[in-house]
Structure 1
Amino acid sequence: MTDYRSRVVDEELAQRMAAMGAVLVDGPKAVGKTRTAEEVARTVFRMDVDRAARTALEVAPEQLFASPTPILFDEWQETPDLWNLVRRAVDDHDGKGLYILTGSARPRDDARVHSGAGRIARLRIRPMTLFETGHSTGEVSLRRLLDGDDPAGTSSGLTVDALLERIIIGGWPDLLDASEREASLWLRDYLRTLAEVDVPGLGPRRNPGNIERLLTALGRAAATPLNLTSLAKDVGGARGRIASETLTNYLDALDRLMLIEPIPAWRPHLRSRTRLRAAAVHHFVDPSLGTAALGIGSNDLRRDLNAAGLHFESLVMRDLRVYGQRLGATLASWRDSQTGLEVDAVLELPDGRWAGIEVKLGEAAADAAADSLLRMSDKIDHERHGKPAALIVLTGGRFSYRRPDGVCVVPITALGP
């Protein structure tokens, strides 16, 4: 296959296959899991549509496992027994990278599966970053910034208007060459299928109308802490607030489909008695889901730059998750409930290093963002947490540089892994 576009996750997949007997590759529908796995697989079984393979799994599973490896079992969660069979096959056969499982949902509630620890590695694929779609030069490496290097690299020259279009289109492989109108139609169908088929398919009593209202409410809540009381009212509509248990059930379904990725609160040791907010900040896995749920386009974002900034933040968080995953990093948010001071993201590395990150669509807001980062850093107990490896302002602007105060300013269209 010659039309494959390289992904940041390709290297991670190769590393996991070299280390483990099997790899689970998961992520939302339509992010390119199967296509990425096909690049390295010799045998492919599509368990959602291949009836013969499903029958063989029930009566003679050894025939499937006798195929040339690596063997890709696509949409494995449609046949949950496959998980334990793969785990056993790893035990019974020498070698690494023998099997790949891809799936767009976690197994149903009644599935009984072993954890797979020590046998099956896990790898998450998300929608494509600006670097992967060709809208960022990638010349400013996140890894090198965290190592203390100065940001040196040019942006792709994407204007703010063009960035707003990328928010609407998103990072879906099927939409690489799509117009905004084509993308909007595709995403509308994606969300309709989600509400009418995917979420109800995960369990009983999941009302499609409620799910559509939930998606719209979550679109309005992009890049803000979730208020469950308000969400319950929005979802219930004219009939009144839905039960908290029902709302939790809906949110759990979206989480199992890997479509929402809230950023939890960071609770570091502080130099003062500052009280920090504990609520997670809501983000979709791709910003296009929020704007599609709201039924808005780039022209609407131009008329409401405050909303545009929030959806731009979701785009940046998507890219940071992809680049950070390669480093084993996690993302958190930081909000001082007393002063209102906040920082959009704190990136933590496995070795204990951390970086504060602020996101601003307009490059003119870099001064205020840098001030927030410096004030936040002053509140952290550096004896326990160390000084920040980097303080970074990510913008929709043009220029990369290190300020005299040490804060790095980087266009998202120059950032890469």
Structure 2
Amino acid sequence: MVLPIIQANPHIALTGVAPHLIDDWTNLPELQELMYRESGRPGSYISVSSHIPQTEDIYVRRHAARGVKVRMRTCTIDELGFSRRDVAWEDIVAGRFSPGSTTLELERTARLICSGGWPAGIGQEDEIARQTAECSVEEAILQVSTVFKKKVPTASAVLTAIADGAGEDTNHPALTKRIEQLGVKPPSRTTLSTYLGILERLCLIERVQGWDAPIRSKSRVRTKPRYFPVDCSVSTSMRQLAANDLLGNAPLFQACLKSMVLHELLCRVDSPASKTPGRVCYYSDADGLEIDFILLFDDGSWAPINVELGEHQVTSSAKRIARLYNKLASNEGSGIRPPAFSAIILGSAAKRSHEKISDSFVFPITDLY
């Protein structure tokens, strides 16, 4: 409604009390240059967009130090109001953890996954929140056509394949296989790369690198990026699934739960305001050892994290983490220190425990805050 007015006089968009929010500034890129020119102090303007522009004005690049780029993500479980707040993030990073009774049923986790972390769903009933998630994902994917002039069905198939296999290989053969299972003709390697780039610029997928761990045979460590959806509801939204559908599909449930945990981790370490800044990787090697996530903190510390549906999987999960410790210990000259902590995060549980095999904190996802 106001775009023609702002196009005629962009200064109008900057009028208002600071901090002044400018939504979808990428519809008029010159606005960002004006913001850099006219900002009197840090925080004068907040410009947001639902996608990352392909190019930036040379003035913007030259004066980028005057602004801070923040990757916005959907809400955490705590922000949604669903955390029991029994496990403080700062505590476990410092090695503090208290076992005890808790409660999280798999059915509840399934409903949380289908609702996702979309702000429009806050305070809504489960079914309304699920429908809100579907609308949010649909609105985002439509930008493939409106912004990037590409095919929405192809992008939808690629996004669904990524969400369905969260945490698994996302190279061309792996994604091709999953796309074929959707009944869609898979794109070529070049076309797939193009759509992955678009989905990243639309902030619909997260890129996670493999950890180049200091073990003896580095050639056996896999480091190529894997992709995850930005929100745990993406897979169920693309397929229009409800919680009961998820309860009948263990592999899909596991993939969605991994996406949920990754989102919680990224919101705590990948932020300018984070007290524990760092990055999230995965670990995989040719011996078949897989660790879902490795946190690499900026202070040089690290932490392995696995994700499981329930308490029955804790022992096998702990043994995988212990195998990683053994591999690292075999390289005496690596200089790597013991992990800050180790965790196994569950989708259902009746207790928090301190597992002994890998010295891991075990707790359900909804205990974290």
Cα deviation, residue 280, structure 1 = 2.5
Tell me what 2:88 maps to.
Answer: 141
- Supply the distance in 2 between the matched residues of 1:177 and 1:305 (Cα, whole angstroms): 28
Tell me what 2:368 maps to.
Answer: 415
Tell me what 1:38 maps to.
Answer: none
- Supply the distance in 1 between the matched residues of 2:288 and 2:256 (Cα, whole angstroms): 21
Moved more, 225-234 or 346-355: 225-234
Tell me what 1:403 maps to.
Answer: 355
Partner of residue 331 from structure 1, selected from 277, 280, 284: 280
* Secondary structure of 2:342's aligned partner: strand
Tell me what 1:225 maps to.
Answer: 169
Cα deviation, residue 352, structure 1 = 0.7
- The alpha-carbon distance between structure 1 residues 88 and 136, as it changes in their structure 2 partners (threshold 3 A), is same
- Supply the distance in 1 between the matched residues of 2:305 and 2:338 (Cα, whole angstroms): 14
| Contact map agreement 1:139 1:153 (CA 8 A) in 2 | no
Q: Which runs of 5+ in 2 are unaligned?
A: none
Tell me what 2:264 maps to.
Answer: 319
RMSD (Å) for aligned C-alpha atoms = 2.6
* Secondary structure of 1:149's aligned partner: coil
User: Which residue identity is paired with 1:170?
Assistant: G
**Deviation sequence 1:6-44 (CA, Å, 0-9, x none):** xxxxxxxxxxxxxxxxxxxxxxxxxxxxxxxxxxxxxxx
- Supply the distance in 2 between the matched residues of 1:142 and 1:350 (Cα, whole angstroms): 16
Partner of residue 151 from structure 2, selected from 207, 212, 234: 207
* Secondary structure of 2:338's aligned partner: coil
**Deviation sequence 1:166-209 (CA, Å, 0-9, x none):** 111111121123344434433443344344x30122323x1122
Tell me what 1:388 maps to.
Answer: 339
**Deviation sequence 1:32-74 (CA, Å, 0-9, x none):** xxxxxxxxxxxxxxxx8554334321xxx3x655643222222
Q: Which runs of 5+ in 1 are unaligned?
A: 1-47
User: Which residue identity is paired with 2:158?
Assistant: L
Tell me what 1:278 maps to.
Answer: 223
| Contact map agreement 2:116 2:133 (CA 8 A) in 1 | no
The alignment status of 1:96 with 2:46, answered yes or no, reads no
- Supply the distance in 2 between the matched residues of 1:154 and 1:363 (Cα, whole angstroms): 13
For residues 159-198 of structure 1, the aligned pairs below 5 Å read: 159-195=105-141, 197-198=142-143
Tell me what 1:80 maps to.
Answer: 29
The alignment status of 1:53 with 2:36, answered yes or no, reads no
User: Which residue identity is paired with 2:18?
Assistant: T
- The alpha-carbon distance between structure 1 residues 310 and 192, as it changes in their structure 2 partners (threshold 3 A), is closer
- Supply the distance in 2 between the matched residues of 1:146 and 1:186 (Cα, whole angstroms): 34
| Contact map agreement 2:118 2:133 (CA 8 A) in 1 | no
Aligned length: 358
Q: Normalized against structure 2, the TM-score is what?
A: 0.87
The alignment status of 1:379 with 2:331, answered yes or no, reads no
Tell me what 1:39 maps to.
Answer: none
- Supply the distance in 2 between the matched residues of 1:128 and 1:215 (Cα, whole angstroms): 20
- Supply the distance in 1 between the matched residues of 2:285 and 2:56 (Cα, whole angstroms): 41
Q: Normalized against structure 1, the TM-score is what?
A: 0.78
- Supply the distance in 2 between the matched residues of 1:272 and 1:247 (Cα, whole angstroms): 31
- Supply the distance in 2 between the matched residues of 1:290 and 1:111 (Cα, whole angstroms): 35
- Supply the distance in 1 between the matched residues of 2:366 and 2:163 (Cα, whole angstroms): 24
Cα deviation, residue 343, structure 1 = 0.5
Moved more, 268-277 or 365-374: 268-277
